[in-house]
Amino acid sequence: MVEQVKGNVTAVLLLLCLVPCIVHADEVQVTGATGGRTAQDDSEYHPGFLSGAASIFPGVLVRGSGHYVAGDKDTAWDLFCIGTASLGVLAGTALYYAHSGASSRLSWPMVPVIAASGSGFALSWLADLYGSTVGMNRSHAGPYRGGGLRVRPFLGMVVVDDVQFEYSRFLHYGLEARYGAFSVTPMAWNALDDTNNRYLIETEIELVGVNGLVKKFESPVLSASPLFRYGYHDFEDDGFNKRWIDLCAVSTITLGSIWNSMRGAWIHYEIGYNREWVTFPVIPGDPVLTTDQLLFEMGFGVDIGRLSAPFGEVYVYYNHRRDDFTGGITGGFAGYVGVKTELRLRDRMSLKLGYSYGYAAVVDIQCAVRF
Amino acid sequence: MIRKGMITLLLLLASGCAQEPTDYSELDLSVGHGSVAGANIAISGGLGAILEMRSGYIELWLQSPAVTVTLDLAGSAVEDWRIVLRNAVTGMTHLNPVAVNSSTATQAGTTYTVDINAAAGGSYALDFSTVDVTATDAFSFAVLSDIQDAIGDVGDIYSIINGDASLRFVVSAGDLAHDGTTSQMRRFRDVLFQLNIPFYGTPGNHDTYDGQYAYWRTIFGRASFTFRYKGATFIFADSSGATIEERVYGWLKSWVPASGSDVQFFISHYPAIDPCGARNGGFSSRNEAYKLIAILGGGDVEAIFNGHIHSYYHFDTAGIDTYISGGGGGHPELYDGVGRHYLKVTVNAGSGSYSVSRVDVD
């Protein structure tokens, strides 16, 4: 086990030494990106404490309250419509689904609708809170355009607090490689205090966006990509191992390109399907159990610092899956919540911190170097 | 400055508290033990709740068709005792009356009463069960779960069960009441006296909504337990929180292999994995679910009985026959053509076989 970890780490370190020689970093920020809709008159827009308080209450129920108090009635109306429509769809589908006794016949069409409408309701609140407190005070930065090959190896530690398993500390490392619209990220988790090992490779092709493969739909507002994951996780001491695939559609919407008050903010969605094959060597005949689940993640992110030169970002999210280290918050339906942060310490080096809370609590600390 | 502040904030966040593990299983450890006026009582395996204990009188709620009650009497203890066993299997008898002067025993429904005279200063192991407890011929039991807010209507199911003389007892995967309040649980137990055979269950999430973890132990006994009867092993595990506590996994690892060549049944509220992946009505952590399946499959458990989902499903879980049956009367799953029901399981431990059939009530 220790030898395996040493070998993997050595490979990563070698890769770290090699990549500066082979990579030509070419990433530029899109300039002159289309700005979002402004308030009727910027001088009338005054985000601050009062509007922030209004975004909390009555904003927690009535979306757009913060923007309304701040003076941006157009954005307030947009948020009100999004929030109210989301709440309406959420209430209608959730109530009917509950009435059906969570019918398995309705689950696949209805649970994604419940999740999407619930996220619309939640994200419109975060957008109101953000835009009515700091949003308008920021300059607008467009999304990044990646040109040549960009490689970003990372190395870190994952701490897992899960009463069900012996492991608690993992060495976590991988390599994110991006070339134009294509990206591939192999990564690994090796337990330092158990025999547990997890490997994952993630591939994404950006179809729509500033790096989009389909130039016809190049957009600074929206990026959309299919995403594929293949993973293997060995719970040797617990008598099983599993392989899985994820087929997803991911999308990021740059809110600042739609509403000026939300410059520096974005939302991220992921929806897809997971299939898992679990093998039990401890059961005679090595039976394989096949399971599946809905994949869904929604989150809200903001840049930190001046947007002309942000030094990091924060992203809060909800993830519906229950098969990774974190697991679901409760029995039945719910996944977990988390926050991810990236801080650019130097020109090419950044520190990533993540915390997720569900059945288990997981802390992820990584150092990444961009080449 | 802002950067330093953000880093500090994030490190504080990273060191934030994890989910506090629950430890309700600790309550199981004290079930079935009591003392009064120089007399100590212990029910083997904690397989019963002590409803009342005073000098010369013991009233128990049994969780098994076969129990051993150990009575330790100090020199000062009284010698005449009345032992009342509630939730007793039909045909229960005192299997080793020689040790004590056992007078006439009576049984009315599921209440078995025996008077004994035991010399003070002695220790007495009293075995109660049916005379055929070790025989391996066929017998049947019912599986009934998720009654919830239909406590007032469950009498018709009990009537059907009472009419089937082949059934020895009912096992349940929980959700007996809707909110698990003491009044609801008491009402459930009052209605249970309409049933002519004993009812052994483990709690569901509805039974613990009100936080009455201790109350379950007071009126029914342990939430996780195991017993053997006629060559079959029954293992109940408390999964009312969509998880099984670490301590209970320790028990499971000893209970599952201990049964050897028995036909083994596992009863627990939440299915480890919901066969409908979008609904995700199983354990909070799928990795934990797989860990449980590895323990059960590795120990050669034949069948799993779950509730929680108010329908009927029968599927294979890594070679283990799995049934979800939540037909006790809780709000039903629609569009599945399944109404209120219970399962009838017939076991023949001699041949190592069993069969399961669904009995529809509506």
Q: Is B292 near chain A, with CB under 8 Å?
A: no
| Residue of B275, B280, B311 lying closest to A322 (CB–CB) | B280
Contact B310, B330 (CB under 8 A): yes
What's the CA angle centered on B99, arms B97 and B105, to 5 degrees? Answer: 25
SS3 A272: strand
Query: A107, B279: Cβ pair inside 8 Å?
Result: yes
d(CA B356, CA B140): 10
Whole-number pLDDT of residue B9: 41
Residue B90: Cβ within 10 Å count: 17
Structure tokens at A110: 């209805």
B280: nearest CA partner in chain A: A333
Q: Is the pLDDT of residue B302 over 80?
A: yes
R_g (Cα) of chain B, nearest Å? 22
Rounded distance, CA A172 to CA A366, Å? 8
Distance CA B283, CA A165 (A): 15
In the Cβ-directed half-sphere of A250, how many Cα atoms lie within 13 Å? Answer: 18
User: Is pLDDT above 90 for B16?
Assistant: no
A315 close to B13: Cβ distance less than 8 angstroms = no
Residue type, A234: D
Burial B150-187 (b: 16+ CB within 10 A, else e): bbeebeebbeebeeeeebbbbbbbbbbbbebbeebbee
Helices (H), chain B: 2-14, 155-162, 182-192, 213-219, 246-258, 286-298
> How far is the alpha carbon of B173 from chain A, nearest alpha carbon, in Å?
16
Window 192-221 of A: residues touching B by CB (8 A cutoff) are: none
Mean pLDDT (chain B) is 90
In this predicted structure, which of A186-190, A262-266, B10-14, B255-259 has the lowest mean pLDDT? B10-14
Judged by DSSP in three states, B275 sits in coil
Whether A292 contacts chain B with CB within 8 A: yes
Which of B76, B49, B47, B79 shows the shortest CA–CA distance to B61?
B49
CB spacing of B333 vs A292 below 8 angstroms: no
Choose from B276, B296, B322, B336 for mutation: most chain A CBs within 10 A.
Answer: B276
Residue A310 touches partner B, C-beta closer than 8 Å: no
B350: number of Cβ within 10 Å: 13
Q: Chain B interface, mutation test: which of A278, A279, A311, most B Cβ atoms within 10 Å?
A: A278
Question: Please, are residues A153 and A19 in contact by the beta-carbon 8 Å criterion?
Answer: yes
Residue with tokens 């009591």: B34
User: What is the predicted pLDDT for the residue at A13?
Assistant: 41
| CB-based contact A278 B290, cutoff 8 Å | yes
Do A239 and B294 touch, CB atoms closer than 8 A?
Answer: yes
Is B249:B335 a contact under the CB 8 Å cutoff? Answer: no
Q: Any idea how long chain A is?
A: 371
pLDDT the model gives residue A136 = 61
Stretch 346-365 of chain A: residues touching chain B, C-beta under 8 Å: 351, 353, 355, 357-361, 363, 365
Give residue A5's pLDDT: 44
Closest residue in A to B287 (Cα–Cα): A323
**pLDDT value at B140 more than 80:** yes
What's the confidence (pLDDT) of residue A43?
Answer: 66
Enumerate the residues of chain A whose CB falls inside 8 A of the CB of residue B6.
304, 312, 341, 343
The span from the CA of A165 to the CA of B290, in Å, is 12
**Rg, Å, chain A Cα set:** 22
Q: What is the pLDDT of residue B6?
A: 44
Q: Half-sphere exposure of B247 toward its Cβ, with a 13 Å CA cutoff?
A: 13
Residues B76, B78, B79, B83, Cα dihedral to 10°: -130
pLDDT at A22: 33
Torsion of CA B298, B304, B307, B309, to 10 degrees: 80
What pLDDT is recorded for position A46? Answer: 84
pLDDT score of B219 more than 50? yes
Q: What is the mean pLDDT of each run of 10 residues along chain A (371 residues)?
A: 45 39 38 46 78 94 94 94 97 96 93 93 95 71 64 97 96 95 96 97 93 80 95 97 98 90 92 98 95 96 79 93 92 88 88 96 96 86
Cβ contact (<8 Å) for B2 and A304?
A: yes
B231 vs A276, B116, B265, B302, CA distance in Å?
36, 30, 11, 13
Nearest beta carbon to residue A100 from set B15, B319, B334 = B334
Position A219 scores a pLDDT of 77
Please indicate if any CB of chain A lies within 8 Å of the CB of B12: no
Peptide bond into A220 cis (omega under 30): no
Residue A129's nearest CA partner among A73, A188, A53 is: A53
CA-to-CA dists, residue A284 to A339, B43, B256, B298, B318, angstroms: 42, 36, 15, 7, 10
- Residues B158 and B151: their CA atoms lie apart, in Å, by 11
Instruction: Tell me if A293 and B277 make a contact (CB, 8 A cut-off).
Output: yes
Q: What is the pLDDT at residue A11?
A: 44
Q: Quote the minimal CA–CA distance from B299 to chain A in Å.
A: 8
Residue B34 has pLDDT above 90, yes or no: yes
CB-nearest partner of A291 from B21, B241, B273: B273
pLDDT digit string, tens, across residues B312-338 = 999 999 999 999 999 999 999 999 999
Name the DSSP letter for residue B272.
S
Residues of B in contact with A280 (CB under 8 A): 290, 293-294, 297-298, 318
| pLDDT of B250 | 96
Task: Kindly list the residues from chain B whose CB atom is less than 8 angstroms away from the CB atom of residue A357.
Answer: 18-19
* pLDDT tier at B7, thresholds 50, 70, 90: very low
Instruction: Please enumerate in sequence order all residues whose Cβ is within 8 A of that of A2, keeping only pairs 6 or more positions apart, or say none.
Output: none
What chain B residue is nearest to A330 in terms of C-alpha separation?
Answer: B284
Distance (Å, whole) CA A222 – CA A46: 28
Task: Tell me which residue of B187, B205, B191 sits closest to B157, measured CA to CA.
Answer: B191
Q: Which of B191-205, B231-245, B248-262 has the lowest mean pLDDT?
A: B248-262
| B284/A292 touch (CB, cutoff 8 Å), yes or no | no
Q: Do B278 and A238 touch (CB under 8 A)?
A: no
pLDDT in tens, B112-122: 999 988 888 99
Pairwise CA distance, residues B318 & A276, whole Å: 13
Strands A240-254 and A265-279: antiparallel
Please name the residues in contact with A338: beta carbons below 8 A apart, sequence gap of 6 or more: A316, A317, A319, A326, A354, A355, A356, A357, A362
Report d(CA A40, CA B72) in Å as an integer. Answer: 87
Q: Do B291 and A102 lie within an 8 Å CB cutoff?
A: no
CB-based contact B279 A304, cutoff 8 Å: no
* Angstrom distance (rounded) from CA B96 to CA B103: 12
Q: Is the pLDDT of residue B134 over 50?
A: yes
Residues of A in contact with B307 (CB under 8 A): none
Given an 8 Å threshold on Cβ–Cβ distance, is B284 in contact with A363? no
Which B residues, 167 through 226, put their C-beta within 8 Å of a C-beta on chain A?
Answer: 205
CB of B17 within 8 Å of a chain A CB? The answer is yes
Mean pLDDT calculated for residue range B272-276: 95
Q: Is B336 in Cβ contact with A104 (below 8 Å)?
A: yes
Residues of chain A in contact with residue B288, where contact means CB-CB under 8 angstroms, are: 164, 327, 359
Show which of residues 66-105 on chain A sit within 8 Å of chain B, judged by CB atoms: 99-105
Q: In what order do the strands lie in the sheet with B57-62?
A: B48-54, B57-62, B80-86, B111-117, B101-108
Of all residues in chain B, the percent with pLDDT exceeding 70 is 92
* Pairing of the two strands B57-62 and B93-94: unpaired
Does A344 contact chain B (CB < 8 Å)? no
Question: Which own/partner pairs from B237-240 qualify as long-range (CB within 8 Å, at least 24 positions apart)?
Answer: B237/B202, B237/B266, B237/B267, B237/B268, B238/B24, B238/B25, B238/B202, B238/B203, B238/B268, B238/B269, B239/B202, B239/B268, B239/B269, B239/B270, B239/B283, B240/B174, B240/B202, B240/B203, B240/B204, B240/B205, B240/B207, B240/B208, B240/B269, B240/B270
B330 in Cβ contact with B149 (< 8 Å): yes
Residue B266, chain A, CB below 8 Å: the answer is: no
**Closest residue of chain A to B272, computed from CA coordinates:** A331
Whole-prediction pTM: 0.91
